[in-house]
Structure 1
Amino acid sequence: MSRQNTRLDQKKVNTELLTLAYGSFVTQILHDQNLNIDEVNKNLERIGYNIGLRLIEDFLSRTAAPRCLEMRETADRIQQAFRIYLNIQPAITNWSSSSDEFSLIFENNPLIDFVELPPEFSNLRYSAIICGCIRGALEMVQQEVQCFLVQDQLKSDSCTEIRVKFIRRLEDAIPAGED
């Protein structure tokens, strides 16, 4: 017998595995927090923040990207990171007139495949982990931002929109005791 060539698309398999694992993860947090949606939202954002703190190092080592001097460069780097880590490319739109605020538009959010929210979880910010990740990564490169979900496909919106607003540039600080 000959072996049939049954090659799997590795990126699709990885994305589906991430989606299923993330769904199980959110379900576990819901149970751990006794279905307290506000606490779950805080936890998802905090976990994403902690991931972002660590992910930025890997991103910088992979890309050797120089420091961003303006938010348009930062937006391009965020878009590049989504291509590298999630194999998606959000559109960058809705720039504020002062160029300190923009939106990331996801036509397809890989975290929400296979997910349906029951009505009692309508306040759950399922993709808040992405907002936290962006915030944590940018904080590590001395940019304080506010990041929040504006639209969510899980809530019958046509796309998922994440708004990123520059707050201030953080000062480089030397850790205490290392003068």
Structure 2
Amino acid sequence: MSRSSTKFDMKKVQNSELVTLTYGALVAQMIKDMDTTEDVNKQLERLGYNMGIRLIEDFLAKTGSGRCLDLKDTADKIQTAFKMYLGVQPNVANWSAAGDEFSFILDTNPLTDLVEIPEDLKNLKYCNLICGAIRGALEMVQLEVQSWIVQDQLKGDQNTEIRVKFIRRLEDAMPAGED
């Protein structure tokens, strides 16, 4: 008795494709489970924040990056992280005159592949996960920032634009009672 062997011609699944598929399912489930779109937006940002806290260690270990010298250096390193974790490299643009605010412009956003937002969810900030991840990662390296979506391809804009604003440098905190 002989066994017939079958060869499967499977395409290699990219990490970003896996993220796209699972992220879409996660957001769909959150929409079903939560009362308002605003609750979903907050939860996506919180989830991203928690991911950013953990991703920064991996990023620093893989790149051997040292402390950022200024906000421009920080923007360059975040740009590298986009390439590492999402497979896209955004443009850094729209610096404020004070140099404390800039934007990431994504021509393509792997999180939004194959996604359409229905009219009743027009207030959904589908990519809020990215904003939270930026905030969480930078907080772990003692930078407090705000991050928000300015333009969204899912809402008809040509690009996805994520704005980052430096708030302050955080001091290294020692636990109470330890000197």
The DSSP-based 3-state class of the residue aligned with 2:147 is strand
- Give the fraction of aligned pairs with identical amino acids, expressed as a percent: 58
The DSSP-based 3-state class of the residue aligned with 1:172 is coil
Structure with larger Rg: 2
The DSSP-based 3-state class of the residue aligned with 1:67 is coil
The DSSP-based 3-state class of the residue aligned with 1:108 is coil
Structural mapping, 1:1-179, within 5 Å: 6=9, 8-11=11-14, 14-34=15-35, 36-179=36-179
Query: How far 1:176 sits from its partner (Å)?
Result: 3.0
The DSSP-based 3-state class of the residue aligned with 1:166 is strand
Unaligned runs of 5+ in 1: none
- Tell me, in whole angstroms, the C-alpha distance in 1 between the residues paired with 2:176 and 2:120: 47
Query: How far 1:175 sits from its partner (Å)?
Result: 2.3
Query: How far 1:128 sits from its partner (Å)?
Result: 0.2
Q: In 2 relative to 1, CA 7–26 (structure 1 residues): closer, same or farther, beyond 3 Å?
A: closer
TM-score normalised according to structure 1 size:
0.92
- Tell me, in whole angstroms, the C-alpha distance in 2 between the residues paired with 1:38 and 1:8: 38
Amino acid across the alignment from 2:11: L
Q: In 2 relative to 1, CA 10–32 (structure 1 residues): closer, same or farther, beyond 3 Å?
A: closer
TM-score normalised according to structure 2 size:
0.92
- Tell me, in whole angstroms, the C-alpha distance in 2 between the residues paired with 1:136 and 1:162: 15
The number of residue pairs the alignment matches comes to: 176
Amino acid across the alignment from 1:165: K
- Tell me, in whole angstroms, the C-alpha distance in 2 between the residues paired with 1:151 and 1:119: 17
Amino acid across the alignment from 1:8: K
- Tell me, in whole angstroms, the C-alpha distance in 1 between the residues paired with 2:60 and 2:133: 15
